[in-house]
Structure 1
Amino acid sequence: MIKFEILVVGSSNTDMVIKAGHLPSAGETILGGVFFMNPGGKGANQAVAAARLGGKITFICKTGNDIFGKQSVQLFEEEGINTSYLLSDPKNPSGVALITVDDDAENCIVVASGANATLSPNDLQKTQEVIGNAGIVLMQLEIPLETVEYVAEKAINAGAKVILNPAPACKLPDSLLKKLFIITPNQTEAEMLTEIKVIDIDTAKQAAKIIQAKGVENVIITLGQNGALVLTEDVFTHVKAHKVNAVDTTAAGDVFNGALSVGLAENLDLIAATEFACKAAAIAVTRLGAQSSAPYRNEISQVFNNNI
């Protein structure tokens, strides 16, 4: 059962997705197949994933005062997410992401941040109570870095554990890294943080060590179809992925992070929580879309034949 509340602070977008045979090269026009719109944004994806898996979720984001923003709020409420702290920007549109997915389930994404880029520390002055009530605070990097740093500072002062999914990839100050309980980069993001090209378990270990030396308590590098590498204290653990027929990897990392947060909120140890997250992500990649791909708790039990 849930022991801690989870606060997710991050972005909310509307994803516009086209399935195509391959990802276009520069200057290339290709004819795609299926088009659909889906609620997305890394923050929203992670909040929805965690809620569907049984988490008690409060989500803070900023949308535009437009149809996309209003639809997003309605969807969050339908998922059982606490929307009391959502903000609306009267000047900027809601965020939008343009996504192409190829036949190998790989994707390329361009994001127009819109209102997400205006979520500032000043917006969060009245959120100390909800930060104080959270056992876990989960964030990403589709909102301003100064806002991420502000929330991290408030969270650790309140005794919460901060998880950062450092996506999209960028350099991060050591002052922020030292506040993190867990960081969850993928291979590209780990390379950005360390200048180590992560291509296998050995290079992942090198990168994880460098990140940990910057002050992060625990490091989890996600490795796609190779699972995840966990570094806690001086111990490495390779959590293997589950073999599935992937059709779209768009929100796999978001589902992983949402599930990881739920596992930790239920007092699972870090390895067990990572195993749970790998199971959730394995189901997500078998489906198209971002939030639409996030599994429910009973689906994990059914697919993997256990009660977690």
Structure 2
Amino acid sequence: MSKYDVIALGNALVDKEYEVTDEFLAAQGVEKGVMTLLECDVQQRLLDSLNNQFGLKKRAGGGSAANSMVTTAQFGGKVFYCCKVGDDALGEFYLKDLTDAGVMHRLDQQNTPGATGRCVVMVSQDAERTMCTYLGITIDFSVNELHEDVIRNAQILYIEGHLVYQREAVDAILVAKKIAREAGIKVAMTFSDPAVVKYARDHLADVIGEDGVDLLFCNQDEVADWAGNDDVDAGIEDLLKICPTLVLTRGSKGAQIITRESVIDIPPYPVKAVDSTGAAIHSQVRSYTASPMVWIWRLQVVWQAAVLPNVFHNSVLAWRLMFSKPFSLKCSGRPSKRMVACWIQPKVVITK
């Protein structure tokens, strides 16, 4: 029996979140709605401006895959995170934050000189998130951060798209993927951001490889960029050749779970948008990727893959992710298809 439900490879970043205006983004020359990589000094000047004009709203351990692992742990999953932090105050903060969230790791065995990565998250008034990231020591992610014994004792290997910018990280991912394939472990991946597809497509293609991945998380912009001609349908068709299951988000139109045999439409749930980023608050992180990974393979019911992201924000249900037991409900009777089929994006608040 597997010791871990999911092992993830990803960046270790301390998120600093600010509420900003569109005018500020324009004045700083920052492209709205995407993640931009910055050098340390450039990011520090941005932080100085943010602190002077707006003030820090919150700080938390982050990183795309880390957020998903935190959410999975909160649902009761046993998860492990492979990442890299420096021997600085932010590294100590990240280690403690990950531990407190119930995510297993071996960061306490690291003693690597360097600066821990930081992600500046700027949330504009329309709830759109814009990120400016200094990767710090996580840019040196390599095979040294892998733990083969953990990979072989997991059910799912989950890969963060943001890692593929660096060739050394790509090589490490390919090693982990080879171990997973040899051990019969499912492989899941997220594109993470349209910028990954635009600027690191070759590395992304190397990671996906001819054998593909078993489950791919992506949004319509990423798929359109993958197609190379802004044609989402063409991108889907191309990806299905190497990825048997896609979980595709379509913004206000909801989401789709797409296989080679069927398409399941997941309607959006009425919400008031607060923040479209999955970073900075663990209670509202990337739950969209956390739940499908365990539900698709553990329960073998694909159409339930979008359940937990919805009920994660819904006080009517008290779900607990029990891998060997049925889920429990606060309400009487069985869950309706409406309950199961609802979907919302991360970091929104249901209005009642």
Q: Which moved more, 1:237-246 or 1:46-55?
A: 237-246
Which of 224, 228, 238 is residue 195 of structure 1 equivalent to?
Answer: 228
Structure 1 equivalent of residue 234 of structure 2 = 206
1:244 aligns with 2:271: yes
**1:262 Cα deviation (Å)?**
3.2
Structure 2 equivalent of residue 78 of structure 1 = 100
**1:26 Cα deviation (Å)?**
4.7
Using the alignment, how far apart are the partners of 2:95 and 2:225 within structure 1?
33
**1:194 Cα deviation (Å)?**
1.5
Size of the alignment, in residue pairs? 286
Using a 3 Å threshold, how does the CA distance of structure 1 residues 149 and 70 change in structure 2: closer, same or farther?
A: same
Structure 2 equivalent of residue 153 of structure 1 = 178
Structure 1 equivalent of residue 289 of structure 2 = 257
Using a 3 Å threshold, how does the CA distance of structure 1 residues 12 and 301 change in structure 2: closer, same or farther?
A: farther
SS at match of 1:90: coil
Using a 3 Å threshold, how does the CA distance of structure 1 residues 95 and 85 change in structure 2: closer, same or farther?
A: closer
Structure 1 equivalent of residue 187 of structure 2 = 162
Using a 3 Å threshold, how does the CA distance of structure 1 residues 96 and 115 change in structure 2: closer, same or farther?
A: same
1:227 aligns with 2:254: yes
The answer as to whether partners of 1:187 and 1:223 remain within 8 angstroms in 2 is yes
1:40 aligns with 2:67: no
SS at match of 1:83: coil
**1:253 Cα deviation (Å)?**
7.7
Which of 68, 80, 91 is residue 69 of structure 1 equivalent to?
Answer: 91
Aligned amino acid, residue 24 of structure 1:
L
**1:61 Cα deviation (Å)?**
1.0
The answer as to whether partners of 1:225 and 1:241 remain within 8 angstroms in 2 is yes
Taking only aligned residues, the RMSD between alpha carbons, in angstroms, comes to 3.1
Aligned amino acid, residue 266 of structure 2:
V
Using a 3 Å threshold, how does the CA distance of structure 1 residues 3 and 148 change in structure 2: closer, same or farther?
A: closer
The answer as to whether partners of 1:140 and 1:166 remain within 8 angstroms in 2 is yes
The answer as to whether partners of 2:60 and 2:97 remain within 8 angstroms in 1 is no
Per-residue CA deviations over 1:104-138 (Å, capped at 9, x if unaligned) read 110110111112211112442xx222111111111
Using a 3 Å threshold, how does the CA distance of structure 1 residues 260 and 277 change in structure 2: closer, same or farther?
A: farther
**1:196 Cα deviation (Å)?**
4.3
Q: Which moved more, 1:145-154 or 1:38-47?
A: 145-154
TM-score, L = length of structure 1: 0.81
TM-score, L = length of structure 2: 0.72
The answer as to whether partners of 1:190 and 1:196 remain within 8 angstroms in 2 is no
Using the alignment, how far apart are the partners of 1:192 and 1:269 within structure 2?
30
Using the alignment, how far apart are the partners of 1:247 and 1:4 within structure 2?
33
Using the alignment, how far apart are the partners of 1:142 and 1:115 within structure 2?
14
The answer as to whether partners of 1:185 and 1:222 remain within 8 angstroms in 2 is yes
SS at match of 1:55: coil
**1:64 Cα deviation (Å)?**
0.9
SS at match of 1:62: coil
Structure 1 equivalent of residue 343 of structure 2 = none
Q: Which has the larger radius of gyration?
A: 2
Using the alignment, how far apart are the partners of 2:87 and 2:329 within structure 1?
39
Which of 172, 187, 212 is residue 179 of structure 1 equivalent to?
Answer: 212
Unaligned runs of 5+ in 2: 30-48, 164-168, 279-283, 322-327, 341-352
Per-residue CA deviations over 1:227-259 (Å, capped at 9, x if unaligned) read 212211231221122111110111078321112
Aligned amino acid, residue 217 of structure 1:
P
**1:148 Cα deviation (Å)?**
2.2
